[in-house]
Structure 1
Amino acid sequence: MKKINIVAIASTFLIYSCGDHPKQKNPLGEPDVIAVKTAPLSSYTVPGTIHASGLVSTENEANYAFKIGGVISRVFVEEGQFFRKGQVLATLNVTEIAAGLAQSDLGVVKAQRDYDRAINLYRDSVFTLEQLQNTRTALDLARKSKEAVAFNERYAKIYAASDGFVTKKIASEGEVVAGGMPVLLTNSTVANGSYILKVGVTDLEWSAINVGQSAKVSLDGYIGQQFDATVSKKLRSADREIGSFQVELRLKLDKVTPPVGMFGKAEIATDSDGNAVIIPYSSLVEADGDKGFIYTTVGSDKVKKIPVHILRFENKRVYLRDRLEGIVQIVVSNSAFLNEQSIIKIIK
């Protein structure tokens, strides 16, 4: 009997513990009040400035190679070393080439001797005209063959086509290379006027940029310095690897010579000045890509959620595409804690 009573008491307690209970309410019976700060919304005249980044390079890049294959005899420059136009950069071992040139000389001498003998025999009516013409053709072929070998012999050396510097040394002395295989990767320079910054921009930015527009460039290797630049070229196709459009800025570096590949940031001034709405970064909520939300006040204690489209971020400010007509005040603090049912208290 006692066992039955214990089970009944336990069941009653379990049913009571699982039952609904009234939820606790605010002791005063009122919703929480969230203190916020507000700021007036206004538009500003914003200069049409495009921010982009890229790497330093030069206008002309060259991959030097030998025309013919062979064994590299000497490489006279190292990576990072400057050179002058006409300077010998590398040579092949010319033992095989010299032998080929000597062989072609002997071939020309023999063909000339055969032709001279054919002329005498033709005069004596021993050779026919066809035989004479054949020896003449053999002589011409031997001479052309010698010219080809001599041409290849001249290109057993690599000469600098312009002033520049070596960015990468691919092959070294003693290596066997094939004809046309790059040996040295170089960038040409004309004083400092050939340095450029290649930056990637979006479709809309590309259309807003024109050749000749001015820009300001800062390089990571020269902290605190800013260099003038101008837009020198707009490439007509997108980069296949990153998908952005490439724009080249010609740098005015004075006496500075940055290495190729240094990272730089550019501010390109365009002609598309106009009015834009600027809001504090703290007022933006639920930002996703170019979309987000802000809160505006309704009366003295309510808020309304407004969708906005983001143009760009700059430091602690956000540029909007929207004009936000009819909105006077926006919430600039504690926006993350709000919803459209919130009760607010505006503080200064």
Structure 2
Amino acid sequence: MNKIQLLSLIAAISVLYSCKEENKSKNSLGDTDVIPVKISAVSALGLARSINATGLVTTENEAKYSFKIGGVISRVFVEEGQFFKKGQLLATLNSTEISAGLAQSSLNVDKAQRDYERAASLYKDGVFTLEQLQNTKTALDIAQKAKEATAFNERYSKIYAAADGFVSQKMANEGEVVDPGTPVLSINETRGNDNYLLRVGVTDREWSLISLGQTAKVTLDGYADKEIDAFVFRKSQAADRALGSFQIELKLKLKDVKPAVGMFGKAEISTSQDENVKVIPYSSLVEADGDKAFVFTPDGTGKVKKVPVTISKIDNDQVYLRDGLAGVNEIVISNSAYLNEKSTIKIIR
């Protein structure tokens, strides 16, 4: 290769390299760092206000069954998770001491009865005074009432189910000594499938917007493919000190579903108040994280501004905003992912 050919090759390579570098700095429109975008007007819409909350499944009535008197547990006839019927025997105490107390009270009544009858005879004969007769009658009455109290306690040495339900927790076992009133079984009452609730926590403001009877839609994690109808059944009148929120109970309208107590659920409660929200396309969102996101708005000639927004809900390709875009009329709805506040844009109508 001669010198002239070598110089020509070097010149050709230089031209090609410079063209490549030039193309890197240009976009398809031939403008350096200019990004084509589409914009859309921000629209407002009046929607029925809804409140989103989460909580756990429970039942309408919960109870802790215990013995009225203390003693040694003889039998516990149910296990955790087991269903039972109203009137079913659930647990008993050892009856040895109870039977002895009942027999003793019967003997006391018999003795007091004999004393009273003897005193009545002696009073007729003028040997006993009226006061002595009255004292024996009082002793008889006391013995009879003591027997009634012992018989009452004997009936409550057994635990019977007050309603249909199931055992959520077994707190004591056979052979344990329990004091009067010590919980033995924690139960949840059920009446078919119409006794299940979702207990959710709400804020002060949300609590004031919720009324009894308002409808709700519930989704349980255990049945994610089923949307369950519900309504507001109860409102707490005091904040839960442990959770720091107000409790709302939603009664679930179950059909073929029987959830477990403690199952996690999400609820959307419809309120009677309307809410004015701004609606934007889903494609306009950037850096979405939970209910927080950003959008870009045209700012002057060929520039954009990044604005934070708070999402209320997303419905298909529409986003309803709870907050943000005050005073903003237009937003960028295409190529938002390629923008930053230093970008230059060209609006395509």
C-alpha distance in 1 between matches for 2:248 and 2:35: 48
- Structure 1's 71 and 336: CA in aligned 2 closer, same or farther, altered over 3 A? farther
Q: How does 1:27-42 map to 2 (within 5 A)?
A: 33=33, 35=35, 37-40=37-40, 41-42=42-43
Q: Find the counterpart in structure 1 of residue 163 from structure 2.
A: 162
C-alpha distance in 2 between matches for 1:307 and 1:71: 66
C-alpha distance in 1 between matches for 2:37 and 2:182: 68
Q: Find the counterpart in structure 2 of residue 6 from structure 1.
A: none
Q: What SS does structure 1 have at the residue aligned with 2:272?
A: coil
C-alpha distance in 1 between matches for 2:239 and 2:281: 34
Q: Displacement, 1:298? A: 2.8
C-alpha contact 2:306 2:340 (8 A) present in aligned 1: no
C-alpha distance in 2 between matches for 1:291 and 1:314: 12
C-alpha distance in 2 between matches for 1:202 and 1:34: 46
C-alpha distance in 2 between matches for 1:167 and 1:128: 63
Q: Displacement, 1:311? A: 5.5
Could you state the TM-score of these two structures normalised by the residue count of structure 1?
Answer: 0.81
Q: What SS does structure 2 have at the residue aligned with 1:270?
A: strand
Q: Displacement, 1:307? A: 6.1
C-alpha distance in 1 between matches for 2:218 and 2:293: 31
Q: Find the counterpart in structure 2 of residue 15 from structure 1.
A: none
**RMSD value, Cα:** 3.0
Q: How does 1:11-22 map to 2 (within 5 A)?
A: none
Q: Find the counterpart in structure 1 of residue 4 from structure 2.
A: none
Q: How does 1:108-257 map to 2 (within 5 A)?
A: 108-257=109-258
C-alpha contact 2:73 2:177 (8 A) present in aligned 1: yes
Letter in 2 for 1:325: G
C-alpha contact 2:194 2:252 (8 A) present in aligned 1: yes
C-alpha contact 2:302 2:346 (8 A) present in aligned 1: yes
User: Is 1:312–2:312 an aligned residue pair?
Assistant: yes
Q: Displacement, 1:127? A: 1.9
C-alpha contact 2:313 2:321 (8 A) present in aligned 1: yes
C-alpha distance in 2 between matches for 1:64 and 1:232: 25
C-alpha contact 1:33 1:345 (8 A) present in aligned 2: no
- Structure 1's 307 and 189: CA in aligned 2 closer, same or farther, altered over 3 A? closer
Q: 2:340 aligns with which of 338, 341, 344?
A: 338
Q: Find the counterpart in structure 2 of residue 70 from structure 1.
A: 71
C-alpha distance in 1 between matches for 2:174 and 2:64: 17
Letter in 2 for 1:202: T
C-alpha distance in 2 between matches for 1:227 and 1:305: 39
192-201 or 321-330: bigger deviation: 321-330
- Structure 1's 342 and 257: CA in aligned 2 closer, same or farther, altered over 3 A? closer
C-alpha contact 2:307 2:324 (8 A) present in aligned 1: no
Q: 1:327 aligns with which of 312, 324, 329?
A: 329
Per-residue Cα deviation, 1:164-194 (whole angstroms, up to 9, x for no partner): 1111111111111111001111111111111
C-alpha distance in 2 between matches for 1:209 and 1:332: 39
Structure 2: runs of 5 or more not aligned: 1-24, 26-31
Letter in 2 for 1:327: N
Q: Displacement, 1:256? A: 1.9
C-alpha distance in 2 between matches for 1:52 and 1:314: 16
C-alpha contact 1:35 1:334 (8 A) present in aligned 2: no
C-alpha contact 1:283 1:332 (8 A) present in aligned 2: yes
Letter in 1 for 2:323: R
- Structure 1's 287 and 224: CA in aligned 2 closer, same or farther, altered over 3 A? closer
Q: Displacement, 1:336? A: 8.7
Q: What SS does structure 2 have at the residue aligned with 1:205?
A: helix
C-alpha distance in 1 between matches for 2:289 and 2:223: 35
Structure 1: runs of 5 or more not aligned: 1-26
Q: Displacement, 1:37? A: 3.3
C-alpha contact 1:206 1:245 (8 A) present in aligned 2: yes
